[in-house]
Every structure is written in C-alpha cells, then in structure tokens.
Amino acid sequence: MIKSRLFLLPLAACAVLTSCFKDEEPNAECDIQKAFVHMDKPEDVFAQKSDTLVDVRSNVSDVVFYIKPGVDVSKMAPQFELTPGATIYPESGTEFDFSDEKKVQYTVTSEDKSWKRTYNVSFEISELPTKYDFENVELYYETDPKDKVLKPKYYIWYDLSPNGKKIYDWASGNAGFKLSNYDGKPEIYPTVPMDDGNGPEGGKYGKYVKLTTSDTGAWGVIVNRRLAAGNLFIGVFDPLPALTNTLLCTRFGLPFSKKPLRLTGYYKYKPGEKLQDKNGKPIEGKIDRGTIYAVMYRNHDANGNAIVLNGNDVKTNPNIVALADIGEISETPEWKTFSINFVYSADLDKALLESNGYSISVVCSSSVEGDKFEGAVGSTLCVDELELVFE
C-alpha cells in the first residue's frame, strides 16, 4: 500500500500545476495556453514577428504583448488557445482599444462550468528596469483543488515602470518547489524576501532577498530531485517540464535595448554543512558555492525564430554576446559590494538593439551546481541593490 501511494505522488503533483484543475473531473481546466494576434504588417507594431504570439504560463494571469514605442494599438483583436472544452468572454478575436497600456479583462470558464479564471490582457512597450532593490514583492495565490479556497503559495517579485506599472521581470524556482511543498507556508520556500534590518549597511536599503538550498523531501527522493537551490533570475519559470526535463523550466532573459557595461550590487553567503550529489551521496572534500552572473544574447536566429536561453545553454548558447560572471562565491559572512564587467564576445548591432533584438538576464543561485541537483541543504545567498550599469 505504501509503495502504491508513493508511485502516485508524482501524478498527484502534476494535478496541481494549474489553479483550476480538479482530479475527479477531466474537463475542469480553464486556462489560456496561448494568445496571438493576426495582422497584415506585424513589423509596424512589433519589434519581432514572434512577439505576436505569447505562450501563457500556467501560474500567471497577466498576458502582455510587447510592442514598439509610438504604435497604434487602438484596434487590436487578440485571439486565444484555451484548454480543451473551455470558453472565454469576451470572445476570442473581439476588437478592443489597448491604447495607453489599457487592460482588457477576460474570463475563462471550464467545460464543466464549475471553474473560472480571470486574465488581464494588455499591449505594452518593453522597458526593462536597470536598478533592482527588491522592495516590490507579493504573494502568489492558487485555488486549492480540495476546498476551492484561494491560498498563498510563494513569493514573486516585480519592478515598477516610470508610470508606476508593475513589471513582473523576476522569476524563481518557487513554482517548481511547490510540487514538494504544496501545503507548506510561503516562508519555507527557497526564495523569500527579508525585512529584518540585517540588509546591507544595517538595513539602510529595506528588503533584501534570501536564497536557500532546500530539501525536497519524499517527493524529491521519488523523482530523484532531492534538493532545490534558491534562485532568482530575470525571465520566466515554467513549472510544466519539472518532472521530465527540469532545465527547460528556467527561461532566462527579457528584451533589453541598452548596452550593459557592469553588474553591481551586494551579497553575502553561507554554505550548508554537507555537499551532496544528485543521488544524495556526500561529496567529500568540497564545500558548496553560490553564484551571480548576467548574460546578454540575440533573441532570434538568422531565420527569425525566437530564442530563449534555458538551463542547458545559459552560458554556452552561440547567440550569447556578453557575459558578466562573478564566478563561484565562497563563504562571505558580512555584506560585500561587487562590480563585475561585461565581457563581449561579439559587437552589438545598433539597429537590432533598438528593436529589442537582444535579451538580458541576471541570475543568482545559492548552489552553483543547483541545476544538477547538487548542493548543500542550508546554503544561503542573500542579494540586494543589483544594478545593470549601461552605456
């Protein structure tokens, strides 16, 4: 009986990936999977043709089409691909005025009519901030499939545009850790905010981020993913490949139209006591390390196909043009300032830069080999006041 229950645990974990899935009813999903627009000359509105299509993650409710400055979006008719049997209101293809970053609210209803989910759709100019103080953080809520009550799951970070609009530019592996910690409190997730007065310069800068390599418990043993490094990066975390190819969960980078020169900020680090490999066996004679780096790359290939770096190629993809890498961080008990230069392997194309043809990501991790599930439980990296200094 125990073996049977353990075998079913990964399947049960899959069932909670979306906020509107019920085990007993197979047609109870109510998600937008893709959003897209059709137009005769997409290049008049979008920097890249691929920007006309948005893959919508299961754990987000804001669908954003990124556009060029000064374009007309007063008559846009977005269309949607939904989970099987679901319906949407207003109808897919309905025309709306999205000028001035107006949001239009859509409601998706499951085929069995028992579940609804609301999405906000907008067309916005892509302006990635360059200073990150991590003061803006909120809880991500999800509907519990058992009692249908919204419950807080984990923390997510965002920055603010010049007009005060939220930009969800940061992602973490918290959405994946949820598989092993579905009923746990947000405070025990690998990536959490801290506001205890112990930040850089005695808490002068307010909140900071604490990244901790964490044990994934019985679930991690079953799927041979025994730990989760605390991480934070500019980009998107997609939890769907978590049980098959975990490295594809991390989608690094967002469009960036400036030439970065340096990455600066504060950090401190404490390694965990016992470094272990993927199978949970001790690695003798070694101590865990943290890492911080930034990478810039061309986000389309020569044929115009969109490119997003993932855990397989975040430092090796041939489209990478610049890297700022602090290397491996050893024990640093007190806050330390750092400044690392971008090393360019190719010249930037000015026209491509101005049309959002490059993307950038800043990556922080409490275990440098955490993507291979190697690390020490308890390793802790704290970061604050990161900044991309640009030309």
Name the token pair of 202: 């005695």
Give dist(CA 211, CA 192) in Å, integer.
7
Contacts of 248 (CB under 8 A, 6+ apart): 238, 241, 310, 311, 312
Cα Rg for the chain, rounded, in angstroms?
A: 21
Banded model confidence at residue 124, pLDDT cuts 50, 70, 90 = confident
Q: Looking at residues 28-53, what average pLDDT do you find? A: 88
Going from the C-alpha of 186 to that of each of 159, 183, 199, the distances in angstroms are: 20, 9, 20
Residue 127's pLDDT is 78
Contacts of 388 (CB under 8 A, 6+ apart): 130, 131, 258, 260, 262, 263, 294, 360, 362
Q: What is the DSSP letter of 45?
A: T
Q: Tell me the per-residue pLDDT of 229-288, one tens digit each, with 9 for 90 and over.
A: 999 999 988 887 777 788 888 999 998 999 999 999 999 999 999 999 999 999 999 999
Give dist(CA 326, CA 320) in Å, integer.
17
Among 49, 135, 65, smallest CA distance to 103 is for 65
Percent over 70 (pLDDT), the chain? 92
Q: Looking at residues 89-103, what average pLDDT do you find? A: 93
Are 268 and 335 in contact, with CB atoms under 8 Å apart?
A: yes
> Could you count the other beta carbons within 10 Å of the beta carbon of residue 99?
13
Residue 25's pLDDT is 52
Give dist(CA 366, CA 373) in Å, integer.
12
Residue 1's pLDDT is 36
Q: Tell me the per-residue pLDDT of 313-368, one tens digit each, with 9 for 90 and over.
A: 999 999 999 999 999 999 999 999 999 999 999 999 998 998 888 999 999 999 99
Whether the pTM exceeds 0.95: the reply is no
Question: Does the pLDDT value for residue 146 go beyond 60?
Answer: yes
